[in-house]
Each structure stands twice: as C-alpha cells, then as structure tokens.
Homo-oligomer: A and B are copies of this chain.
Amino acid sequence: MVQASICTIGDEILIGQIVDTNSSRIASALESIGVRVTRMVSFGDDRDEIIGNLKEELRHNGIVIVTGGLGPTKDDITKSALAELSGSTGYAENKEQLEIIENILHSRGLDVLDINRAQALVPDRCEVIPNRLGTAPVMIFRFGDGECLHTLYSLPGVPFEAEGALPDILKDIKSHYRLTDIYHRSIMTYGIAESALSEMISEWENSLPEDMHLAYLPDPVKGVRLRLSIYGGNRADEEKRIGMEIGRLRRLLGDSIYAEDDTTLQETIGKMLKDSGKTVSVAESCTGGTISHLLTSVPGASEYYLGSVTSYAVSVKENVLGVPSAIIERYGVVSSQCAAEMAEGVRLITGSDFAISTTGVAGPGGGTDDCPVGLVWVGVTSASGTETVRFQFGNDRTRNIERFASSALDVLRKKIESETND
C-alpha cells in the first residue's frame, strides 16, 4: 500500500497559536483513494529543520505532502530548503502564477511589489500547479522513479487554498502510483458508550472475515461511528459482503443506529422532517440554546425548524412557555413534569408538529442531592402525546451541555422515527 506523510511547516503551529486543520482534510482525501497516512509532523520555519524533517519523511514514505511555510514574508526559507533538497540549481519564474498574483493584488487595489513577484519564482527542479486562490503556487518534486518514486507536494498553508489544491494532487497521485482499491461503509450509533458497544458486538466482531477491518470512531456529539473497511478485491463482491455484515450489525444494535455514512443527529433529524413535511420547535433550559444552534447549523433548517425559547429564568418558563407555577412549586424546575410542560408550551406557541425540551443542572454549581450536577430531563411531544426521559452525566459544564443537547436530539430522532414509520 502506498504510504504518505503529511508535514506542516510553521512556528505559529508550534506555539499553539493556530490549530492545524489542513492535515486532517488532506488525510481524509488521501484515505479515500487508498493511500495510507503513516505520520503527520509539524515543525518550525527553520531551513535545517525543514530539510532534515523532509528527508526523513521521504525516506519512509512514497508521498510527502507539505503545507505552510509559503507566504510573502517567509517564502525564502521553505523554497531554499526545497531547492537544496531537490538538487535544483536555480529558480525559474512561473508565468501563469505571476499573472494570478498580479490579478489578485490589482483586484484588491494593491501594487505588485518585488516581494509579491518573488512568489512566482520556484526551484528549477519542480513542476508547478498554479494556485488560483492565492499567491503561492503548488510545487511538485519527484525523486527516483518506477517502484522507487517518491513525490513531495508543497501546498500553501491557507486552509481554503490547500483544500483547493487537493483535487489536482489526488489526480497526480492516481496517475503516478498503483493504488489499492478500498471500500468503506459506516454506521452512526448514539446512546451506547464505546465500551458497552464493543461488548454488545464482540461476537460479531470476532467472526468478521480476516480482510474486513472494524474501526470505532467515537465523537462526543455524533455518538460512535462504526466503520467497516475492505482493501483490494472485487468491488461488486466487496459491496455485497460488507452489506451483509452491516445487516447483521443492524439486527444487533436496532434503533441505536441513526444513519449510515458520516453524518450527525441534526442532519438525520432534518432529513426525516423534510421528508415527512413536519416541523419542530425547542424549549431549552440548561442547554441554553445549544440544541437550536445544532439544528440550525444544517443548511435549509428553516424548512422544518420554527424556533425555540430558552428559559433560564423561572419567570420565562412561566410567562413565555406557560409552565404553571404550581408545577414548579411542587416538582421543581428540574423535573419530568416541568420538562413535559416546557415541550408542550413551546409546541403550542410555535404551532410545530414536534417539540423537545431540556431542564437540568449543567454545573459546575447548582446541584443538590435530588438534582445533582449532570442530571437532565428531556421532554418530547407531538399530537400523539408527551414523554420524558432522564439522563445522568458527569461534572463538566461544557461536556454536560454537549451531552444534554445530543441526548435530547436522540430522543427527538426516535420519536420522529416512530411516528413517521407508522
């Protein structure tokens, strides 16, 4: 299998100033065409560091993808390192990139300075893919050939420019390397912890054919994604075999599975609501707007999401959502009864088909013996009636808000599923 290393150049990464999102995007693209990423490495804007690290990565990998280290103020270091590494004897001006640079600067009303023009200069031993989204071109350096071909791709560090260069890079890789076919399928589960899940499916997992590989990919918001992969073989055959295993998994996990492929609860809910022409509203307390935030992060949410009320203060629960004060006096705000009233209240004032609510204690303070930090009541309601569910999580506020919101979305998902399947 062709192996790759992804390298990021930049002091701003090493001091923790920016999070490197390029490597993950590049890795995911490489994996999709069957290239195995063995390492990701970040190092500083220093000539010797750059040469040393890249030599090392090229020794162990057929493909090395480098991002960053290019830009009007620090171009020189990376480029001179790449020139030395590739045995270039000088620099050549890339006419096409120079034109792009001039156009970009003119469109911003800026003059083209020498420092800008220099960005079109590349070591003479490289091939160039012009970068239409920015000023630094993509450079390709090839070392050796045939089975011993090693290729270094140098991409700009600006995330949308790096992403923009990826299709051309993948095309180049496919035309120079014999890649193993790879076939993946994922299912998304929610509500079962990774360890419990692994126990539930261990027998099935142990009976998987040798060439099939299972990965647990847990995410605090999305739940656990289970991904089955097969490398090589005949595609139609693989699809059938993997489909059979997914079928077995579905029988084991039932409605804990909410989707196939890498997706989110809110996307799944959005799709179900769109398909059934139904609408939803939300009454939040402890989740403080997070459920609404998640639902509306999906493009087109306005087709099914009507609105929400976040009622932190008791007065808002009573006056806006219409929760009777007698309910609050008798059971408290963190109660099954209050959750039910909140959901019914928001459904009434918005006129939605479905409504969910949350009321709980996110922490860090505010917990009591009866209502400890981490406790949340979720209410869900529709024309067919109202239900409430209780969840108990841990002590971390941020994490609690996240899990309260995801759990509520999962309760809503199951409710919609049960009513639209009828």
Residues of A within 8 A of B (CB): 8, 11-21, 23-31, 36-44, 49, 53, 71-73, 104, 107-110, 113, 115-116, 133, 158, 160, 164, 193-196, 198-199, 215-220, 225, 279, 281-282, 284, 287-293, 295-297, 299-302, 305-313, 315-316, 319-320, 349-351, 363-366, 372, 374, 392-399, 401
Contacts and interface: CB of A to CB of B under 8 A. Distances in A.
B21 A37 contact: no
A308 B309 contact: yes
Q: Which 9 A-B pairs give the minimum distances between C-beta atoms? A: A288-B296, A289-B292, A16-B28, A16-B27, A289-B289, A307-B316, A72-B195, A40-B42, A289-B293
Nearest to A10: B217
How many copies of this chain does one complex carry? Answer: 2
Contact of A26 (B16, B37, B158): B16
Nearest to A73: B198
Contacts of A18: 24, 217, 219
B312 A307 contact: yes
A288 B293 contact: yes
Nearest to A288: B296
B296 A293 contact: no
A400 B49 CA distance: 35
Max chain B C-beta neighbours (<10 A), residue from A49, A71, A290, A309: A309
Contacts of A107: 372, 374, 392, 394
Contacts of A281: 316
A320 B349 contact: yes
Nearest to A19: B24
15 contacts: A8-B40, A13-B24, A14-B36, A17-B215, A17-B217, A23-B42, A72-B194, A107-B392, A288-B296, A288-B305, A297-B401, A299-B363, A315-B351, A316-B349, A320-B320
B195 A73 contact: yes
A20 B19 CA distance: 8
A399 B320 contact: no
B312 A305 contact: yes
A291 to B, nearest CB: 7
Contacts of A308: 289, 308-310
A19 to B, nearest CB: 5
A19 B43 CA distance: 17
Contacts of A27: 13-16
Contacts of A311: 307
Contact of A297 (B164, B198, B288, B313): B288
A299 B110 CA distance: 37
A27 B18 CA distance: 10
Contacts of A160: 396, 398-399
